[in-house]
Amino acid sequence: MEIIIQQLMNGLFLGSIYALMALGYTMVYGIIKLINFAHGEIYMIGSFIGYFLILQFNQWAIFSGATGFFIAMILSMILSAIIGVVIEILAYRPLRGSTRISALITAIGVSYLLQNSMIYFFSPDTRPFPQAITRKLYTFFGISVSNIQLLILGVSVGLMILLQIIVKETKMGKAMRAVSVDPDAAQLMGINVNRTISFTFALGSALAAAGGMLIGLYYNSIDPMMGVAPGLKSFVAAVLGGIGIIPGAALGGFVIGFIETIASAIGLSDYKDALVYVILIVILIIRPAGILGKNIREKV
């Protein structure tokens, strides 16, 4: 029983990272109906920005320990948000009126461009992520939890709550919801659609960067290809929960995390990725719109 609870706890921490990334996918899709396959690369770039910032802080002998990590994470989120906006303006905005397949191919192209650019400039080698926070292990009733895992869960949940507040309570959040329903009508009501879409990309990119830094701290390694698998699984999480629905994306991320850790616990670690997709197919057969999605007829 303790082993099962331990794996469920591990799944909770892993799922919180998938949930953070899935939120970026689902927000962009909800606004402009685009699957931003470059989102995993923003996650990777965010971890690299944090990596270099922490090294620089250590070299200058400022902002050490947890303080340095959190300052680096905030700066990484800001810089990644800017990168996300630049990608939206240069790659996606010119194709906004084109077919969905054109935008999809462009997103895949941007993903490969970012991957290979990072490999060219920083080499494909794996780098050890600076352990700015000393790892400690706590045991409660036979269940082991590290302070890094608690940090991941706390930061992830905190960012999800902050995102909900932004979307539900702020003027820009209301604009995001209006644009997601009808961009043309929103523009007629005086909403700057371009600014709203750019803000959405900035939010999603910032969340992905936070996830990249947290996972770098947890696994103690980063590399230019680290965003490929988590990016794809986060997209699966968004679809599983109901693409375009923020709570659904968060739920899907936690479900994927639980599936992976349970698969590892029962000796199916080599097949955990396949198991994720099998369960996705089964759920989509039962509920084509996802767990929290609603079936809506589209005009074609």
Distance CA 227, CA 74 (A): 19
Confidence band of 100 (pLDDT split at 50, 70, 90): confident
What average pLDDT does the structure give for the chain?
89
Query: Over 90: is that where the pLDDT of 286 sits?
Result: no
Token reading at 141: 């009733």
Angle 220-22-268 from CA coordinates, rounded to 5° = 60
Confidence band of 152 (pLDDT split at 50, 70, 90): very high
Containing H/E element for 236?
helix 228-241
What tens digit of pLDDT does each residue of 182-218 get?
998 999 989 999 999 999 999 999 999 999 999 999 9
What pLDDT was estimated at residue 296?
56
Q: Give me Rg for the CA atoms of the chain.
A: 19
Query: Over 60: is that where the pLDDT of 246 sits?
Result: yes
Average pLDDT rounded to a whole number, residues 273-296: 81
Query: Which of 75-84, 127-136, 141-150, 285-294 bottoms out in mean pLDDT, i.e. has the lowest?
Result: 285-294
pTM: 0.91
Average pLDDT rounded to a whole number, residues 170-174: 93
What pLDDT was estimated at residue 289?
82
What pLDDT was estimated at residue 295?
60
Average pLDDT rounded to a whole number, residues 290-299: 66
Containing H/E element for 143?
strand 143-146
Distance CA 236, CA 32 (A): 18
What pLDDT was estimated at residue 1?
65
Query: Over 50: is that where the pLDDT of 300 sits?
Result: no
